[in-house]
Copies of this chain bind each other. A is one copy, B any other.
Amino acid sequence: MKCCEPVSLFYYEENKGGGEYQAMTQLTHFNEQGASRMVDVSKKEDTDRVAIAHAKIIMKPETFQLIMDKKIQKGDVLEVARVAGIMASKQTCTLVPMCHPLNLTSVKIDFTNNAVNEIDVLSEVRVTGKTGVEMEAITAAAVCAITIYDMCKAADKGMVISDIHLVKKTGGKSGTFIFDKDA
């Protein structure tokens, strides 16, 4: 009985002898049965790539005011959250299983807002590499917002993190993507 034919990624050479296991000396090709894998980007060009992502955290106006007044017990909320987001972008490939490790060349995080009960997080990540940095930008924005939650949760456990999405990406074979909020 074979255990794994339905998900087998490899074609094997013929067994070269009567030993305990097959000598698998050549993996010529991959089938398309959908087993999880880190997609092969070895034939792609190194190009300049940029990704921008967004996250929003919604809170009580009183919590927003505490952040603005720097009265949260754990410290300057936005500065700590920014550091957390930047550091998280560098951990993306250890968090997201199929992400490629990449030598990020730039990570920036900024904050803005459109109302007195929310903070918008914007992250921008750059790389010169064979694959894009969408996941790094999304991870940076998400962990930044999660850190805002952590810093303020003693005051407001009902905060909601929302609207995490890719804003824009450029570079690479698939070209430019711009988020269309009405799509």
Contacts and interface: CB of A to CB of B under 8 A. Distances in A.
Interface residues of A, number: 122
Contacts of A143: 95-96, 142
A106 B42 contact: yes
A40 B97 contact: no
Interface string A32-69: 10111111111010001000101010000000100110
B96 A40 contact: no
Given A3-B111, A36-B76, A52-B24, A101 B100 contact: no
B161 A8 contact: no
Interface-centre pick from A26, A52, A105, A145 (highest chain B CB count, 10 A)? A105
Interface in A54-101: 54, 56, 64, 67-68, 70-76, 78-80, 82-84, 86-88, 90-91, 93-101
